[in-house]
Chains A and B, each alone.
Chain A
């Protein structure tokens, strides 16, 4: 039986709560449309809960100043983790949270790398969250300038070959330039060469931070390689910071980027093997709308491929845990146990080490060992033995029958 409601909540949200399953027909359509405009959705309860998390709104520098002792600085990541779980569990703006999760993972920054530990709260808040339904290029601009990305992919160390080596700044560092093209925009087969990587790296010299203890973005003309570059066959004349901006514009209007981003979105929302015809249509939307993410999502949600893809995806550990808690109307007082389960399942929050982020196909997440851990989570939850988590009275066996079933491993 087709269950459009379950399908919509499995894909646009982190699974349905019991009360969501009543939405049908026109109401469901209105819900889907509404999810694309989160600012018009009231979310008082979550906002109130988050208002107690004062470190969430601090920049990296503010966090360092407020908590000079390194050990105390953990509060930033702790609160961010708590906020992520709260929002995923309870926010009415579910698609917004799905997209924040998606784009953070696309522009991944590992919170465990040095200064990133104090920078990730502001990274998600300033560089990701405002743009998740906007133009794709806005995300690239915002992440390129954020101290978290500059530190994570070493661009803050990258200087013109003419600048004498000093401290950790020893010439050109290609790390960001390469990932900008391979992972953020064009994709691995997107048609660039090693020489393009070098030229792009030269264009971004001078996009820096003062250092891990003063992590604020600025453009440093003395570090910049101020000569013209040849990128993807086009000359970029010397122009300081403008060069990097031109590169981003160029990459974001490239057909490879439209295709790469469309493929990734379709993989997230439709199937591990993205249907090529749908990818084509989404890529055309990208090209036509100047990379408008909301328009691309509309193309996906309105497609036959989307409707026909029920239960096609295996839930990631995060999706599994959150959807189980939502389905059981769980109240989470202390998210520590969830963080531990995510670690054991291989998906600790803000801790994907490589710039690829976490993978998004079932084969990466489903194995005998992880299935055992998933089922143990369900059992523990059903019998009320998840510390810090309470669920309203429902028979343990009926919880296991639904949340422990193979269908619940999928979305």
Chain B
């Protein structure tokens, strides 16, 4: 066989993973799903969910403050509850808040004092703030500690270019750039022959699980797939579009990770327009399309957004903000009791700020994640997932 005919053969015999939106035959693995959205680069939570009734807000941010909801003009804060409001480009998410499907946890974040992006992301994705040697990501620990004999190895997945820290670890997870990539290329039968065998050898065991999962997916091979919503352009919305495909295919996915970068606005952050507005537009538009695309499957899905830390309460000399502390997390999805802003508001007076400069943290991010993991995913052993952490009273958004 020469290379050319072989290449053709590869195309024809590849185990493809196409996906039917709803499984027509074969076993169904419809599960509760948690989606982690990481805003890498430290989002300015105070201009994302704005405490517009806070007297200090406008004084601290003379050029980047967003116009009050009561002001004249189209570009102004979208009032949520009379105290907090969304940045105007987040309009796609406002109806979800009003319908009670989206909530905000303000003054949330990771308690570690570091202002290094890398360290703070590491702490958050390992979910052990202050401990640098944790090797596994917290989502991997979830998969590992809730092992389930019936589950396919698609319980933890990320859409992106590389395996995120959150999912790294011993439990099997998949990282793919797109659904089209989730397949074994090449001569399937040859690979099956090569990896035949029942031994408990770690390689053959992985192969068995790989083939059975790929076969399982093959059973869900669709006709044509089209998303049920219009996604805006950009890498983040595209990743979410791929993720929606996976969720709708009922492949047993439970925890998924997607990230969106570009939040580190030390200069030229802008107010209603500018660098932050551009990122928030892609962020909000992507999330809204994802929500719509999932249709009735959204009833099984909870999405949580987070960032490694927030930004300084006061704008700097370059029309931007520097590395800070607390920020705002969004929780959305079918099961979410939204329509309100959760958490205790610490205020923006100088003595109320963390180290007299940043929004203080009144809700540990693990309290938010812990509520999702226990009440939505049904995990019991929280200590295996968030070691040495007492999550306290749940906020009650689920």
Contact = CB atoms under 8 A, between A and B. Distances in A.
A54 interface: no
Interface in A103-120: 110, 112-114
B210 interface: yes
B210 A372 contact: yes
A369 B1 contact: no
A137 B99 CA distance: 65
| Most chain B beta-carbon contacts within 10 A, residue among A175, A354, A355, A362 | A354
Nearest to A377: B185
Contacts of A356: 133, 135
Contact of A346 (B119, B163, B190): B163
Contacts of A344: 161-163, 175, 177
Contact of A375 (B3, B182, B186): B186
A395 B132 CA distance: 47
Contacts of B284: none
A113 B1 contact: no
B132 to A, nearest CB: 6
Interface residues of B, number: 48
Interface string A367-383: 11111100110111011
Interface string B192-227: 001101000111101101100110000000000000
Nearest to A346: B163
A410 to B, nearest CB: 7
A317 to B, nearest CB: 10
Given A354-B132, A410-B203, A384 B163 contact: no
Interface string A296-323: 0000000000000000001000000000
Contacts of A175: 132
A364 interface: yes
B55 interface: no
A346 B134 CA distance: 16
Contact of B3 (A340, A376, A396): A396
B162 A371 contact: no
B194 A383 contact: no
Interface string B101-119: 0000000000000001011
Nearest to A356: B133
Contact of A367 (B135, B162, B173, B191): B173
22 contacts: A114-B116, A344-B175, A344-B177, A345-B163, A354-B132, A368-B153, A368-B206, A369-B174, A369-B210, A371-B206, A372-B174, A372-B214, A376-B184, A384-B3, A385-B7, A395-B2, A395-B6, A400-B187, A400-B190, A400-B191, A401-B190, A410-B203
Ordered nearest first, which 5 A-B pairs have the shortest CB separation? A379-B186, A343-B162, A368-B210, A369-B174, A367-B172
Given A353-B165, A409-B203, 6 more contacts: A175-B132, A343-B162, A369-B153, A369-B210, A379-B187, A406-B197
Interface of A: 110, 112-114, 175, 182-183, 314, 340, 343-346, 348, 353-356, 359, 362-364, 366-372, 375-376, 378-380, 382-385, 395-397, 400-401, 404-406, 409-410
